[in-house]
Amino acid sequence: MEQQDRIMDGDLQTLGLQSILKMLALSGKTGKLFVTSGPETLSISLRKGQIVGLHEDGVPQPDILGMLCLLNKLDPPRAQYIRELARGDMHMSLALLVERGWMTASEMQRRLEFLVTQSISHALRWVNGRFAFHRQVIPMESKMQPLDVDSVLLEALRQADEWEEIIGEGVTHLTRTTVARWQPEVSNDVRNLGLNQEGIEVLCLANGELTLQAVALALMSPEARVARIMARLLELNLIEVVDTALETELQSDLSNIIIKCQYLLAQQRQSSNPEQHLLGLITTLSECINGLLVHHGTYARSLRGRGKIPSMEIARYLEHRFMPQLQAFSQQQFPILETTSFHYGQLDCNDILTLNKVVKGEQLEEFYWEAVQGLVAFLRMIFTELLRDEVGNSHVGRQLTVAWRIFLSEIDHEVQQYQIYRAHRNTQLSRGRDTIQPSSLGIVQNWQNPADNNGEMWSPDTRRRSI
């Protein structure tokens, strides 16, 4: 930016944002004001002393369409239609809603005005920082009607005062970047929770993705008021504050486990006969289960915030959490799982893996097949419970669920291939044949003639997918 275009700059400790804006309004300036404090930068466009646009660097545009859907003010098909046209531009989204008759022009103006007031209210609390006004910068275009500086400042100061009030009340753990979500055990029917309309709306928007700032914009309610409602919902144990750093770490760890499981699954496809294939699946499933158990021992909700926990306490927690389900599976559906046990928080499948030392032939294959089915069921249960406890029905949870379903579909494919083999074998035996003859089924051909296909045991090949 040209030095000669800058007609005013300085330190916020010398001249605050309120005074700067009033000076620019009184002199009817046209240009752009940049205000910086630490990592935050606010740019305000003025035309003839009136505010015509505003932008906060580093603050993603809120998903206004998604928020309107959560509030039942817009249906998802319409939101998707607008989203495809606007391509993430909030101002364009609002303009298109007005153009289609799905929002009034006055509501669009109120929302844009609230966004400006909200951002300036936040910047009014900056003590340290710099400002600079450039007169030759072309103001950003906006669908908003020009705003009177005095009116905006009056409302912004009122909102800033509300923040001071709730801080005085002890609500210091919530900020405009706080993200909250429902507790996993909260019912979807929010009407029976005894909340007023504002409380219900804040709860509906607490989806683990939206910041307090975005929630306030959706409701056009001051951030401090939303913070007060969130504090009440926290007291009622209806929501929790999301630790975004922890969840990023958690997501990365689970993603790596899924990728490792996919790799192990691919490796065991080199099996040359049904027994070896089933044994490879058992090994893969047990390693996946133990990977998830190690992960949950680190990220379980009830173990967080307690510093370094002794490994034996973590092991006891995992056994207490998952042993009853394992016993239920063994007693009700898969007796072979009675041979498994928990050892230091890990599932011990050694008795199954060494079963070939005492059992041979068809009986061994039947035991292996039952173990595969039981371990698949146990694996599914562990992941479902683990995800519900750690992240609940959140954006991260949905992303991980998609990746997990891809992996499960690969396991299902392996299981289905074996089922095809069993069905073919049983058909041949029911016809009184002593041996299984070559078949058009690729899986049977592979196990009858393992040397003919260079170790490729499956037909068609399973498509590899990664996260």
Question: Per mean pLDDT, which range of 37-41, 90-94, 269-273, 386-390 is the poorest?
Answer: 269-273
Distance CA 241, CA 179 (A): 6
Q: What pLDDT band is residue 390 in, cutting at 50, 70 and 90?
A: confident
Question: Per mean pLDDT, which range of 210-224, 359-373, 374-388, 391-405 is the poorest?
Answer: 391-405
> CB of 20 within 8 A of CB of 118?
no
- Strand order of the sheet with strand 50-57? 6-11, 130-134, 31-37, 40-47, 50-57
Tens-digit pLDDT profile for residues 248-307: 899 999 999 999 989 888 887 776 678 888 888 999 999 999 999 999 999 998 888 778
pLDDT reported for residue 441: 36
Whether the pLDDT of residue 370 is over 50: the answer is yes
Distance CA 392, CA 385 (A): 9
Burial class (CB in 10 A: 0-12, 13-18, 19+), 39: exposed
> CB of 383 within 8 A of CB of 289?
no
Distance CA 425, CA 412 (A): 20
Question: Per mean pLDDT, which range of 117-126, 167-176, 381-390 is the poorest?
Answer: 167-176
Element (H, E) at 131: strand 130-134
Distance CA 289, CA 326 (A): 12
Q: Which of 414, 134, 93, 434 is closest to 276 using CA atoms?
A: 414
Q: What pLDDT band is residue 4 in, cutting at 50, 70 and 90?
A: low
pLDDT reported for residue 426: 79
> CB of 97 within 8 A of CB of 80?
no
pLDDT reported for residue 432: 66
List the beta bridge partners of residue 182. 239
- Whole-prediction pTM: 0.70
Mean pLDDT across the chain, nearest whole number? 85
Distance CA 286, CA 295 (A): 14
Question: Per mean pLDDT, which range of 142-146, 181-185, 369-373 is the poorest?
Answer: 181-185
pLDDT reported for residue 445: 42
pLDDT reported for residue 420: 86
pLDDT reported for residue 149: 95
Q: Mean pLDDT, to the nearest integer, of 422-433?
A: 76
Distance CA 323, CA 429 (A): 39
Q: What pLDDT band is residue 451 in, cutting at 50, 70 and 90?
A: very low
Whether the pLDDT of residue 136 is over 60: the answer is yes
Distance CA 341, CA 364 (A): 20
Which residue has tokens 């002593």? 434
Whether the pLDDT of residue 69 is over 90: the answer is yes
Q: What pLDDT band is residue 50 in, cutting at 50, 70 and 90?
A: very high
Give 319-368 as a DSSP string.
HHHHHHHHHHHHHHT-GGGGG-EEETTEEE-HHHHTGGGT--HHHHHHHH
Rg (the chain; Cα; Å): 31
Whether the pLDDT of residue 38 is over 70: the answer is yes
Count of C-beta atoms within a 10 Å radius of residue 107: 14
List the beta bridge partners of residue 241. 180
Distance CA 219, CA 203 (A): 12
Pairing of strands 207-211, 239-241: unpaired
Question: Per mean pLDDT, which range of 58-62, 202-206, 434-438 is the poorest?
Answer: 434-438
Distance CA 278, CA 167 (A): 61
Burial class (CB in 10 A: 0-12, 13-18, 19+), 349: buried
pLDDT reported for residue 433: 55
Q: Which residues, in sequence order, are CB contacts of 36 under 8 Å at separation 6+?
A: 42, 129, 130, 131
pLDDT reported for residue 218: 95
pLDDT reported for residue 463: 36
> CB of 126 within 8 A of CB of 17?
yes
DSSP state of 305: T
C-alpha angle 281/282/288, rounded to 5°?
Answer: 90
pLDDT reported for residue 282: 92
Q: Which of 102, 98, 78 is closest to 143 using CA atoms?
A: 98
Whether the pLDDT of residue 455 is over 50: the answer is no
> CB of 87 within 8 A of CB of 98?
no
Question: What's the CA dihedral at 310, 314, 320, 322 to 10 degrees?
Answer: -160
| Widest pairwise Cα distance in the chain | 101
pLDDT reported for residue 271: 67
Whether the pLDDT of residue 459 is over 50: the answer is no
Whether the pLDDT of residue 389 is over 70: the answer is yes
pLDDT reported for residue 2: 54
Domain chopping of the chain, boundaries: 3-168, 179-241, 244-453
